[in-house]
Chain A
Amino acid sequence: MLFPTFTFAAFFAVVLPVSWVVRQHATAWKLFVLSASYLFYGYWDVRFLLLLAGMTVVNEIAAIAIHRSGNARVRKVLVITAVIVDLLVLGFFKYYGFFLDSFDSVFGLSGPALTVILPVGISFFTFQAISYVIDVRRRDCPPAPLLDFAVYLSFFPQLVAGPIVRATEFLPELRANRVPDSLETGRAVVLIGRGLFKKVVVADFLGRAVVDDAFGTPGEYGALDILTGIYGYAIQIYADFSGYTDMAIGIALLLGFRFPQNFDRPYAAVSVQDFWRRWHITLSRWLRDYLYVPLGGNRRGRSATYRNLMITMGLGGLWHGAAWTFIVWGLLQGGALAIERLISEIRGQPDIEFDAADVRIRELARLHSGAEVDAWREDPTSPVPFSPLEVRRLWLGRLITFHFVCAGWVVFYAGTIEGGGLSAAGDMFTGLLSGWTTTPELLNPLVALVIIGAIAVQYVPPLLGRQLSAMFSTLQPTLVSIGFAVWIMVVVALGPEGISEFIYFQF
């Protein structure tokens, strides 16, 4: 069942109060949440439950065996075996047809044609399972009791489309049997309300009004409409995925759990590296910690670093879908990261964690008086006193990064089209080469408003958002309840007929 549906609302209206009634009794609560999560997942297809249960048992057995073994080599073999089993399961359900077609194309080898149904969310909970066994091997966390691990892997707010929550973030809360006596209800409401609006109104609107037509029949439209389609898809995929994540985080908050942030204004990124610190953050850190760093990261010289970036991002692309276009998309991202790194090295710039506010404060203090810096800190929403050159470089970086990302999305979208391939992406790009004087059919004031508005919101200072959220949390619960109900009504009324599935469900 999808989050923004009445079915889920009815489900949650039962799960929420019962969950808190039994919360004092740890085992009963875990069993209840596990049952609710299995009901949630089984709503798509009851057969999926066998897969989820099987993955739970296999990975738990592996984790216990790893933990109990005192021999480092044995532990290594066990973790590699567990990871291979997980990847084989993922590979079979998600990539069987892709590998079959690819081997046939390249080597002329064919295999048994099977109709394999892709279980919803398999990419997400497989990665969570892998991170669990690796963290146990690294001694970052002990193996959890089976019930705890089952709850972690199946917890319904993040089961089907993330965020990819680490075992080290979730399991300690279960282990502590901590029962919160208060909730960040205001923040939860803001997140769910924002997520609903992004998914139901923004993403679905752009999909039906612009994206489906522009990408479906690009030859029928002029360059302005093609460009609108590309920008529209950039906003659609962001609103769709971040909207889902917002709802997931908000729902988890109401159940007493804090999930990590998954998006941080990605279209305000000043570089591709910055983009990947803001987009699908939990996947980026997973790839960094479980793939890039084990490959050697940036510790083995320049060539190895670039190779590791390409491998990590290429596989990250493949994670998104079983098509060469996703791999190409990933390699493009890896290539851009490698090029940025090379440029930084040539310029002699240190590789620093890019946190805009704090890095600039350090830089600013060398250029301006303490009073000016302090005055800015008093009101962080005021314009930062950058030099004109800094400002130009900042905005140029944002412009280039945004358009590189959009170009990547065109390749990405082609991978979601059955039989699309790179030629489908090529059709979009060639559509930009001509027809600039053709009267646009897809671009209209409402579409322009939604796209520009969605991009503009990326530049709202995060501090302002948090201040608003803090202010909202001071309102009386009754007022919040009424206000949110009205908001739901507005979203339902503005939404299109029917709810399309989340884009990231297919990954």
Chain B
Amino acid sequence: MDHSDPLERATKPRNRGETWTDEQFRAARDSDLEERTVDVRSSVIAALSCLLLAALLTSGKIVEIAERQELGDTRDRQLAVAERLDQVANFFSLNRPYDLILDIRGAGKDVGERVDDLSALAASTTTVPPTTSAPTTTAVPGSTSSTTTTTTTLPILRTITAGRPLTVYVAGDSQAEYLGQAITTEHPDWDLEVEIADRISTSLARPDYFNWPAELAAVMDDRSPEAVVLFIGANDHQDMASAAGSRLVEGSPEWRAEWMARLELTLDLLAADDRHVFWVTQPPMRDGDLLEGVALINELAAPVVAARPHVTAVDIWDLFGGDGGYVDDITTDDGNTIDARVDDGVHLTRSAASEVADLVFDEMATVWDFGD
């Protein structure tokens, strides 16, 4: 009997108990499943054609990725190629299906993703009058030195109750995720309603990628949270584009002035009678360049925050090593040593985020009455 012939298998009678061996069965089954192969030349041409066609179909995404690169010659080159590709795709309408799928999905619904420009926002935002304030001191867990936080002594805004919990909006880059989760869970006896808005790779430096001022303005308008916790700055160590389109080199006087202006705009549009903002400083970073970058951000942010009575700085620099440099572990208030940073030497661990959350809670307690 030819076991590879289906007709023969079907028609030949079998005795009860007679079985095929595994090999016979597999041979019969696999003979129906031979895959057609393609010659190498045709395969390679097909693969390259496929990649080219896919690039044209997704040219919008490629342009977006190129735009996100740090300002510089590499970005300019990538953007030039991407835009040329997009022009070709546009000519043949090859990029329409991709845009259609995005529209159906409702992607890019955040205001911050859709608005590139800061100028309209700057024109409509009222500058908060600067104020000088007496610094108060907050003890930093596990640190031998005290960390200074600057706040104007304000009357308690209100008493928080279960019927009227405190609405908290935690915003920032990827660091904001764990901090937001810690704020959500670490004080179960407080009545908090927390919304976490972490947007990976975002910064104030690149509103073309994600426009935080526009996003915050929209959120304040829509939901008006009473507490806003901002944890952003680690991605700001890059060149910026000015309103006029010129490139501002990181660290230059023009760059510093522009970044401070953006922070001022961001904090001013958050000002409201019943709202308080908590600006979390950056911790030291393991990478030398990044360490310099965040130190600069902290230096520029300090006077901007200090000049605004509705903003409190939560300084975590010393908690994570301070001027002594980056540390992997920290000692908590109760004497435990915890891993402070994940493997990338940037992000805080959940435990470390809990420590930061505790500092935020300490500041919140000076603004609202939680009935403790």
Contact = CB atoms under 8 A, between A and B. Distances in A.
Given A358-B22, A377-B9, A419-B349, A493 B47 contact: no
Of B14, B178, B188, B200, chain A has the most CB atoms within 10 Å of the CB of B14
A506 B184 CA distance: 27
Nearest to B61: A492
A382 interface: no
A380 B29 CA distance: 9
Contacts of B188: 219
A77 interface: no
Nearest to B201: A498
B102 interface: yes
Interface stretch (A51-59, A184-192, A236-244): A184-192
A82 B349 CA distance: 36
Contacts of B102: 493
Contacts of B184: 217, 220
B132 interface: no
A74 interface: no
B372 interface: no
B98 A365 contact: no
Given A254-B47, A417-B350, A477-B42, A489 B58 contact: yes
B350 A16 contact: no
A184 B350 contact: no
A185 B14 contact: no
Nearest to B104: A493
B47 A16 contact: yes
B98 A369 contact: no
B14 A373 contact: yes
A16 B181 contact: no
Nearest to A380: B29
A370 B18 contact: yes
Interface in A142-186: 180-186
B328 A115 contact: yes
Contacts of A473: 35-38
A115 B321 CA distance: 15
B215 to A, nearest CB: 14
A378 B35 contact: no
Given A493-B98, A494-B105, A467 B33 contact: yes
Given A183-B40, A217-B181, A474-B36, A419 B350 contact: yes
A380 B329 CA distance: 58
Contacts of A470: 32-36
Interface string A4-45: 001001001100110010000000000000000000000000
A366 B6 contact: no
Contacts of A117: 343
Interface in B9-45: 9-10, 13-20, 22, 25-26, 28-29, 32-45
A374 interface: yes
A218 B26 CA distance: 48
Given A16-B44, A378-B9, A492-B61, A485 B50 contact: yes
A344 interface: no
Interface in A354-393: 355, 357-358, 361-362, 365-366, 369-371, 373-375, 377-378, 380
Given A9-B51, A373-B14, A184 B37 contact: yes
Which secondary structure dominates chain B's binding surface? helix
Contacts of A474: 36
B339 A418 contact: yes
Given A186-B35, A378-B9, A481 B98 contact: no
A484 interface: yes
Contacts of B15: 370
Of B28, B50, B53, chain A has the most CB atoms within 10 Å of the CB of B50
Interface string A407-446: 0000000000111100000000000000000000000000
B4 to A, nearest CB: 12
Interface string B350-370: 111000000000000000000
Contacts of B6: 378
A184 to B, nearest CB: 5
Contacts of A261: none
A481 B53 contact: yes
Contacts of B54: 9, 484-485, 488-489
A452 interface: no
Nearest to A417: B350
B272 interface: no
A113 interface: yes
B139 interface: no
B36 A419 contact: no
Contact of A374 (B10, B17, B177): B10
Contacts of A181: 39-40
Of B43, B328, B351, chain A has the most CB atoms within 10 Å of the CB of B43
A111 interface: no
Contacts of A184: 35, 37
B345 interface: yes
A13 B38 contact: no
B80 interface: no
Contact of B35 (A13, A187, A355, A492): A187
Contact of B38 (A182, A212, A357, A466): A182
A256 B58 CA distance: 28
Contacts of A339: none
B57 to A, nearest CB: 4
Contacts of A494: 101, 105
B371 to A, nearest CB: 21
Nearest to B18: A370
A469 interface: yes
Nearest to B97: A489
A501 B189 CA distance: 36
Contacts of A9: 51, 54-55
B21 to A, nearest CB: 9
A204 to B, nearest CB: 12
30 contacts: A9-B55, A13-B51, A16-B48, A20-B44, A182-B38, A182-B43, A184-B37, A185-B47, A217-B184, A217-B185, A219-B185, A254-B43, A361-B25, A366-B17, A370-B18, A371-B13, A377-B28, A378-B6, A418-B351, A419-B338, A420-B350, A480-B46, A481-B47, A481-B49, A485-B53, A485-B54, A490-B101, A492-B61, A493-B58, A498-B201
Given A181-B39, A488-B54, 14 more contacts: A16-B48, A180-B40, A182-B43, A183-B40, A183-B43, A216-B181, A361-B25, A370-B13, A470-B36, A488-B57, A489-B54, A489-B97, A492-B61, A494-B101
Interface of A: 6, 9, 12-13, 16-17, 20, 113, 115, 117-118, 180-187, 212, 216-217, 219-220, 254, 256, 355, 357-358, 361-362, 365-366, 369-371, 373-375, 377-378, 380, 417-420, 463, 466-467, 469-470, 473-474, 477-478, 480-482, 484-486, 488-490, 492-494, 497-498, 506
**Nearest 7 interchain pairs by C-beta:** A370-B14, A418-B349, A485-B53, A493-B101, A182-B37, A419-B351, A477-B46
